[in-house]
Structure formats: C-alpha cells, structure tokens
Amino acid sequence: MTVKYNLDVSTSRPWTLFKLLFRWRGSVWKSVLFELAIWLTLYFLVSIVYRFRLTKSQKRIFEQLVYFIDGKLDYIPLDFLLGFFVLSVLRRWNRFFDNIGYIDNIALMVAAYVRGSDEETREMRRSIVRYCVLSQALVFRDISMRVRRRFPNLDAIVAAGFMMEHEREKYEKIQYRYAKYWLPFQWALALCQEARQKQTIASDWLLEKVSEEIKQFRTSMAILCNYDWVPLPIAYPQLIVLTVHVYFLICVISRQHILSDEAPNKSRFDMIFPIMSTLQFIFYMGWLKVAEVILNPFGEDDDDFECNFLLDKNLTIGLTVVDEGYNRTPEILKDAFWKHPIKPLYSTEAAHAERRMSGITGSIAHVV
C-alpha cells in the first residue's frame, strides 16, 4: 500500500519535513536497519579483535593496513555511481506510473458516443469497458505478484466478474505460445464497430474517437509489458550493489579508531561507536534502497503500486459511468449568477487569508 504523506507536507514550516523522519512504514530506517545491524556487528567484532586479541606487532600491521585503505577509499566513486543509477531507475518509475492505466477516458467516451437506453446497448457499453479492464487484469497478473496471488488462474478472474464463462471459452480456444492480452481489446473494438453499424454511434468520426481511447489504453499496457520484459541491464544494478556493499565492507576496517601513539593516523578521540561512519552508512545504503524500492513498483514493498485497488476502481467506475451514470444530466435551470454580478463567496476566515494572496497581475501593474 502506498505510503501517503502529502497532507503532512502541504504547508511549508520549519518542522514540516522533520515530521516524516518519525514514520516507520516505507521509511529509510526500515530499509537499512537489517544491513546496519550486520555492519555494526562486523565493525565491533573487528574492533574487539584489534583492541584485545592482537599482539603489539600485529596491531602495527593492522594500523598500517587501516591507514592505507582509508587513504584509497576515494578511488570508489560512490556518489557518481549512485546518482546516475537512482536517476535511471526514477525515470523508469515515472514511465510505469504514467502508463498504469485509468479507464475514465474510455468510459466517458463510450457513455457520450454509444447512445441508447435499451438493454442491448447497455450491455454493449458495459462490455466495452469491462473488456478493457479485463486486459489490464491479464497484464497485471503477469507483472504484479499481488495481482497474481489474487488471480492465480482464469477461474479466479471469472469468479471476480472480470470475465464471463462463455468469454473464457473463446479466450482459451486460441492456443499459442504468446500472451493474449490483445484479445479483449479486439472484442471491445469489434463491439464499437457493431455499435457503428447499428447507428448507436452516430458517425465514423465518433467511432474513431472511441477507438483511439481504447488504442491508447492498450498502448499503455504494452509499455508496462515491455518495461517488465526488458529491465535495466543486469550488470548495472550488480555493479551498484557490489560497489556500495564492498565500500562499507572495507569501511569495517578502514574506519577503526587507531590507539597506538606511534601510528601516523592515531585517532584524537577513542570513540567506541562509529558515529560518522554510521551516518554515512544510513545515507548511502538508504540511497541504494530508494533505487531498490522503485526499480520494480509492481512488487510487494510498502510503496509499490496498489494494482488490485486500481483494477477494482477501474471496473467499478467504468461500469457506473456507462450505465448508472449514462444520460443522467441534471435539469437545466438558470444558475445563481443569472443576470447578477459574480461575487465570490468565502467564509470570514477564508476571505481574510485570500486578501493576502496576489492575483494574476503584472508585477508592476500598480506602479504609478
């Protein structure tokens, strides 16, 4: 389920964003806690061995190793690699979200252009919308684990009402190795053509408008399939994950506090707990976790897309728009401003706040 916080940051205040730090679900703390615990355990194990188990000569060798490794850590361009990786993943996430698919436009076009109140026309409108949502369900169950668990087979899709039994029989008659996401779209377009032949769609131009919306919806589903089929080249995330984890594995040694007075890198303070290194671990590992979370938003993370909710919403809204909401225009009456000047109505408090706002006027419009 998506973690919502827009209301908490709706108004800018000095403490606004700090409130988000105390969230747990979907937070950076939840993401890095396990790795941080392992890293601190390794760090303290090395520290105990260095302080209490090594001989004096062994300590000298260890301190030289720490000095050498710590001076070479800058050879790993962690900021550069993580920055480009997160940017690439974020662009993919935006494409996923832009094409997740809302049925509203199709439903509104079908309700506006497929005219008729008889039972056959109602069934036609409802079927066009349902077929589009059915295709979306077929796509989602192949790219989203949550949807797959809900619809492990076609029996579950039929039971949920997305597909009827006779439609399933026609669907299963076509047997070949590739996915059949296109088939319900073909049914929907065939119904549009039938509606045109029966004159329930008044013109070819209106038929084209409805067909174009269906085609656009299908294109969005195809884009989701393509992005799921071809992820980022595996060497790229491998490189980033390897770099970050090797970096902090090296830090287990290089960030140890040196105690010997003869060592050139002797620590000024013997800090048992590595405060700065822990903060760096949280920041960089959290950065990596951000990329992991948005790499595939159709998974089961706290912030992944709510695909089951979207399917239910699309089916409910789509059928309501083309049936219960069809041809229910309110009676046309004179509006409240008929032959009267338009005077915006505010409460006293809202009007006081509104007066402080600047309207759309030029910056020097009131200069004399």
Q: How many CB atoms lie within 10 A of CB 150?
A: 17
In a domain, 284, yes or no: yes
Four-CA torsion 351, 356, 362, 364, nearest 10 degrees: 140
213 shares a domain with 109:
yes
In a domain, 139, yes or no: yes
Structural tokens at position 174: 């076509």
Tell me the pLDDT tens digit for each residue of 38-73: 999 999 999 999 888 888 888 888 888 888 888 888
Tell me the pLDDT tens digit for each residue of 8-36: 667 777 777 777 777 778 788 888 999 99
Of 267, 295, 323, the residue at which a domain comes to its end is: 295
Of 263, 295, 327, the residue at which a domain comes to its end is: 295
* Residue 113 in this model has a pLDDT that exceeds 80: yes
pLDDT of residue 268: 67
127 shares a domain with 147:
yes
In a domain, 19, yes or no: no
Task: From residue 363, give the alpha-carbon distance in Å to each of 101, 355, 356, 368.
Answer: 41, 17, 15, 12
In a domain, 22, yes or no: no
Parent domain of 223: 104-229
* Nearest of 185, 241, 189, 175 to residue 218 by alpha carbon: 185
285 shares a domain with 179:
no
Structural tokens at position 359: 């309207």
Structural tokens at position 41: 């355990």
143 shares a domain with 123:
yes
194 shares a domain with 247:
no
pLDDT of residue 1: 56
pLDDT of residue 354: 66
Tell me the pLDDT tens digit for each residue of 247-271: 999 999 988 887 776 666 666 666 7
Number of structural domains in the chain = 2
Average pLDDT over residues 337-351: 80
245 shares a domain with 224:
no
Signed CA dihedral, 266, 267, 269, 274: sign only:
negative
Q: How many CB atoms lie within 10 A of CB 125?
A: 25
Signed CA dihedral, 267, 268, 274, 277: sign only:
negative
Q: Per-residue b/e over 202-221, b at no fewer than 16 CB within 10 Å?
A: eeeebbeebbebbeebbebb
- What's the pTM value of the predicted model, to 2 decimals? 0.86
Integer Cα distance of 106 and 225 in angstroms: 21
221 shares a domain with 246:
no
